[in-house]
Structure 1
């Protein structure tokens, strides 16, 4: 989940769904509420810890943080130097994940198909929005954290991409690489606020309208595929808050057209290999889950 959340366009929530921990994650987060105080008073800290699946949450959060701190540099390097294989890997990951999620829908009706289309159009609409240019103030970092974390637990919507739209991706990634405790602490506080409020709503929807929710979430994943298509031409650029020139508007190209327009190799063999790796990873996780 941590590795996915570092990449704009890929959601950690997608990874949670693939690995089969999504419902448990939402339920554990939902249990972190004021009722915990009563449990602590009545049965003690250990009972409260068990009530929220404390061991599960600590292990998961430790894995996410470890991945972010160890992979932030590598992912940044890949995005700058080898973007085509990286995007291809995640493209394959999401394509096969869509099939995995469709298998979990118990009953297909017209409203399920409508839900898939609604999710796809909603996600696509987000991907074509123009990025803002918010300054990395304490308040903006707090707000960015609370919004981005909601996307991070939604399969299909990338928290990193939301940070890009807000103009906060580079400052947060730089803080992770330099271990800026103040910035990261502010961002984490915003994440906690957003997570505790949004998880209740999402958990309720999944309990009461599971098939509709699953098909909408799968539509979200399908809608972001245009964002992570490996071969792109940058139409316009912008200067981010760190003074770096980054793409603003891009259009998708076929591998052949990409070579003709950009003069760069399409790396088709590498892309196919990376895509197969992504598919194989999800297939392997499914087989592991079956056991």
Structure 2
């Protein structure tokens, strides 16, 4: 796998992580780098610190697969810097067509993962159903009123980063459910360094713990774990379904109301409850385009 290929995968992951409801872990899965990413994150442990302590910087770099992480992080950063404003503008002005495009992406991703489960057994089918039910429950959950303060910020960082590396579950969407989306965005905009530092520590702790658990599950129980993650993806289709009705709202850092709890509706009902054109034909075309794009990415890079 070339550095350019890893960089492009990072660009795709960054583009996915920008949007609440879409996970960069999904892109890592369909482009064939998920196991390597988990292994690289997992390598940040006591052996790595021991190598640094002894001044063996090159060995420490190789131990964590530094070249891979550097290319990936550069790709993610490039994507966020270049696409964040475009995605935000599309979400503000054309949310329904954009969600339709992401629906096609997620559906194709789920089918790609489904093919990797292998021969089906009752246990694997049960794992698929469990993942589906968990994702559906998360998608339909109301906002949780967390206790404000730095402990809540730490918990938000810990939980959201765990969700971010799971295919089909968005870390930013988890922040919305925890009622911390607005406060964290406000901390970023106002440079509240104490809040950001605690959030980063929580995220780092969660990443170190959860990546080890996922790595262990994928190597000891690969097919059941793949079935579970595939269920997450299928369940997350509710999150990216284009036509939704809001049941609850959350105030953003700019004082604007954002939907916090939504339920999917049919295009005809969306026209009634939202009073807006469901744009059915363009949305169906964008679903097909997103589906085809993922299939092409998987054929190009999925086994690279």
What is the TM-score when the length of structure 2 is the normalising length? 0.87
- 1:202 paired with 2:214, answer yes
Give yes or no for the alignment of 1:224 onto 2:236. yes
State whether structure 2 residue 191 is matched by structure 1 residue 180: yes
SS of 1:233's partner is strand
User: Could you tell me which of 60, 63, 72 is aligned with 1:48?
Assistant: 60
Contact 1:136 1:171 (8 Å CA) reproduced: no
SS at match of 2:277: coil
Corresponding residue to 1:272 among 284, 297, 302:
284
Structure 2 gaps of 5+ residues are: 1-12
The alignment yields a C-alpha RMSD, in angstroms, of 2.3
Query: What SS is found at the alignment partner of 1:140?
Result: helix
Structure 2 counterparts to residues 97-246 of structure 1, below 5 A: 97-134=109-146, 137-173=149-185, 178=189, 180=191, 182=193, 184-240=196-252, 242-246=254-258
Q: Secondary structure at the match of 1:101?
A: helix
* Number of residue-to-residue matches in the alignment: 290
1:71 aligns with 2:46: no
- Once the two structures are overlaid, the 10-residue window that deviates more, 99-108 or 131-140, is 131-140
Alpha-carbon contact 2:118-2:223 (below 8 Å) kept = yes
> Structure 1 residues 28, 179: CA separation in 2 closer, same or farther (over 3 Å shift)?
farther
Cα distance in 2 for partners of 1:110, 1:73 equals 45
Which residue is equivalent to 2:40?
A: 28
The question of whether the paired residues in 1 share the 8 Å contact of 2:181 and 2:252 is answered with no
Hey, what's the Cα distance between the residues in 1 that align with 2:196 and 2:288?
A: 35
- SS of residue matched to 1:224: helix
Partner Cα separation in structure 2 for residue 97 and residue 65 of structure 1: 23
**Under a length normalisation based on structure 1, what TM-score does the superposition of the two structures give?**
0.90
Unaligned runs of 5+ in 1: none
Shift of residue 24 of structure 1? 0.1
Pick which of 145-154 and 250-259 moved more: 250-259
2:73 is paired with a residue whose SS is helix
| Cα separation, partners in 2 of 1:238 and 1:49, compared to 1, 3 Å | closer
SS of 1:225's partner is helix
Contact 1:111–1:212 (Cα < 8 Å) also in 2: yes
